[in-house]
Amino acid sequence: MLKGRLIAFVQEPDEGDKLNLGVMKELTGNDSLYIRGLYEEGTIILQTTKFVLIANRIPQMSMFDKAVWSRVRVMPFVSMFVDKIESSHDSLTTHLKDINFSNKIPLLAPVFMRLVIEEYKQYLTYGLEESNEVKDCTETICVSNDIFGQFLSANVEKNSKSIVAIKELYDTYKYWSKDMFPIMKVKDISSLRQYLAKNSYTIDAIDEIEGLLCATSNPISNALYSFQHVPTSPLWIWEMITIV
């Protein structure tokens, strides 16, 4: 039951699962929700819960959506706990395992709560500013989920004298996607068209975009692409960060 809860921890999804962005936006939109407990009458509550997903592998988003990334923050866990400290380990992030840690939790709880209260006082006075580490990590994961953005960055350039048809752009994307992400399902042409419209690309009445030059829009690049089926410039790395 979410009523009155300020924080909720979400179960890590299985490998290959995607986050349901519709449900995610509904739960994180700070709107009222209709809920019903088992054998209870339904009621409407004000959503105040913050959701935390702790995962070894960051799940893939089913689509790139700016509304989603305005809600998501990725916080890397940089500390590592080992049985033995080696000279190659980073002393700031590598620590010895404490096999008795679980027994110490009752003693540590009051100390932890004191730290939380002190930090809360700072928050009330100065607010909360995201660290550069969180900003950079979130941006990296955001980019890695923006498949169309990666494709356009690698295969399309601005050129005031050029016109590219959506069909030609999509055909290039299909080859690129199969080469770069062979196990990923290729998105359909309507998804590409929707992405372009959302990102301020103007599509005319005959399904063309002015001012863009596709990698396959000139004879030399087209011949090379048809022969090799590879993009003409280096691309990004998928799943760039793993949280441990």
State pLDDT tens for residues 207-235: 888 888 887 644 434 433 333 333 333 33
Contact present, 96 and 81 (Cβ < 8 Å):
yes
Same structural domain for residues 194 and 147?
A: yes
| Among candidate residues 102, 129, 156, the one where a domain is terminated | 129
Same structural domain for residues 55 and 107?
A: no
> What pLDDT score does 35 carry?
77
- 47 lies in a domain? yes
Query: Is pTM beyond 0.75 here?
Result: no
Task: Write out the residue range of the structural domain in which residue 116 sits.
Answer: 76-129
> What pLDDT score does 63 carry?
61
- 235 lies in a domain? no
Same structural domain for residues 157 and 224?
A: yes
Same structural domain for residues 150 and 222?
A: yes
Same structural domain for residues 100 and 123?
A: yes
Q: Domain tally for the chain?
A: 3
- 110 lies in a domain? yes
By CB atoms closer than 10 A (0-12, 13-18, 19+), residue 208 is: middle
- 136 lies in a domain? no
Cβ neighbours for 60, distance < 8 A, ≥ 6 positions apart: 18, 19, 145
Residue 166: CATH number of its domain: 1.10.10.10
Distance CA 208, CA 214 (A): 12
Distance CA 158, CA 37 (A): 55
- 233 lies in a domain? no
- 242 lies in a domain? no
> What pLDDT score does 62 carry?
60
3-state secondary structure of 209: strand
Same structural domain for residues 51 and 91?
A: no
Contact present, 10 and 49 (Cβ < 8 Å):
no
Same structural domain for residues 156 and 222?
A: yes
Same structural domain for residues 152 and 199?
A: yes
Token readout for 107 is 């003693």
Same structural domain for residues 65 and 101?
A: no
- 4 lies in a domain? yes
> What pLDDT score does 229 carry?
37
Ranges in the chain, pLDDT < 50: 217-244
Same structural domain for residues 123 and 146?
A: no
Same structural domain for residues 147 and 125?
A: no
- 65 lies in a domain? yes
Same structural domain for residues 28 and 96?
A: no
